[in-house]
Amino acid sequence: MSTADRPTESASAASDIAAVCRDAEFVRFVATADGDALAATGVLARALAATDRPFQASVVAPTATAERATEADATVTLGRDDATADAAVPTGPEPVSEVAFRAAEELGSADAVLALAGATVADATPSATLADAASVERRPGVATPTPDLSEGLAYGTRLHAPFSGDPESVRTALADCNLMLAAEDGDGMDEDDRRRLASMVALRTVGAGDASRRAAECVENALRPHDGGPFGTVEGYGDVLDAVARVQPGTGVALALGHDAREAALDAWRTHGERAHGALANATTGRYDGLFVARGEGAGDAEPPVATAARLCRDFRSPEPVALFVTDGEAAAASVADRQLGATMDAAVESAGGRAAGTGRRARATVETDTATFIEAFREAL
């Protein structure tokens, strides 16, 4: 984790958020639909709850607006910048949840484990200071939110391997390495078992025939997790937060606020992971100069989570710096570095029809034309 000093504006943002929350009669938190912003919402909401300050929390689609309900409200947006908000922590060079953590410290109560969980699913790197505040240590193994490794490896979205999305394929891979008996209860694995598990996962991820060079770097994000939190590993906790933020935001808010939503959250996480991995594994792909495109299809109501599929494609499949995942009606893009994808997606939908929102490294859109037309519009905009 980075130990570099944080930008002055990040410290200022934390103080501004704390001041707004401290002075308002009622605070509305509006988070964009990702795990980092959801965790930030939970961190701030718990800080207000500790002092009996009233609040409301919601997770909204990236293209939605955060409208003020009454003049007494103060609206704080997380993971998004909104002209209607009283204060905002947009996605930037620091995890949103880490900025929220510092604001919550100023308010008197800050959940460092929740903040670190959110930070692990951000594109920005959390600081060593946040990990120290969480008082968690790394251990050998793989980050999962459940001790059942056949589920944890199949549905987790911190990596994409040939067995991803299919618990039976995971069991076969574990058996091939004589890890099946130990893996039936992941909590009972010793350190040697965990190291062998991590090696197997890394080798199968990097050794996949369609794996990108970047996969070797990105699979590290799933290895040697921080031990702790309500889901066993902090990174597993973050994976669940990211899933529920995208597919069941109401459950996500309940989880972030500390309510008993564990089983509902895990159900949403399983569904999200299965659909994201299946969509990427079955996508039709095309390579262009600087852009890798994957076209996916939904099955009835089982529409793939395009943002997660685009991120997995960027990290584990794309030989180009920008990955675009497209279905009938939706699209998402993810880039290795800041490419102003939000502006690129805006230009694409202006040309082809739709609505878009995004940041420097990620963007989403609803699409009003066929996929071929939209892909061409995105290529021209890029």
Instruction: Measure the CA–CA gap between 254 and 362, rounded to whole angstroms.
Output: 26
8, pLDDT greater than 90:
no
Contact 142, 152 (CB under 8 A): yes
3-state SS assignment for residue 92 = coil
Question: Residue 285 forms beta bridges with which residues?
Answer: 294
Q: Closest Cα to residue 82, out of 44, 24, 30, 123?
A: 30
pLDDT, tens only, 147-195:
899 999 999 999 999 999 999 999 999 998 888 765 565 556 889 989 9
Structural domains in the chain, sorted by start: 8-135 (3.40.50), 140-224 (no CATH), 282-381 (3.10.310.40)
Contact 329, 336 (CB under 8 A): no
3-state SS assignment for residue 312 = helix
Contact 155, 273 (CB under 8 A): yes
3-state SS assignment for residue 322 = strand
Task: Give the mean pLDDT of 210-237.
Answer: 96
Write down the mean pLDDT value for the chain.
Answer: 90
pLDDT at position 179 is 82
* E strand spans, 79-113: 87-89
What angle separates helix 35-49 from helix 96-107, to the nearest 10 degrees?
Answer: 10
Instruction: Measure the CA–CA gap between 202 and 207, rounded to whole angstroms.
Output: 8
Least reliable range by pLDDT among 85-89, 231-235, 276-280, 299-303:
299-303
4, pLDDT greater than 60:
no
Question: Residue 376 forms beta bridges with which residues?
Answer: none
In this prediction, what percent of the chain has a pLDDT beyond 90? 81
142, pLDDT greater than 60:
yes
pLDDT, tens only, 326-378:
999 999 999 999 999 999 999 999 999 899 999 999 999 999 999 999 999 99
pLDDT at position 65 is 60
Instruction: Measure the CA–CA gap between 318 and 298, rounded to whole angstroms.
Output: 21
Helix H or strand E encompassing 328: none
Contact 130, 115 (CB under 8 A): yes
pLDDT at position 299 is 53
**DSSP letter string, 153-193:** HHH-SS---TTTT-HHHHHHHHHHTT-HHHHTTGGG--HHH
SS3 content of the chain, % helix, strand, coil (to 5): 50, 15, 35
Place of tokens 């620091």: 94
Region of 334 (left: φ > 0; alpha: ψ -120 to 50; beta: rest) is beta
pLDDT, tens only, 119-132:
999 999 999 999 99
Q: Closest Cα to residue 241, out of 5, 35, 86, 50?
A: 35
* Secondary structure string (H, E, C) spanning 223-243: ECCEECCCCCEHHHHHHHHHH
Instruction: Measure the CA–CA gap between 258 and 98, rounded to whole angstroms.
Output: 18
2, pLDDT greater than 50:
no
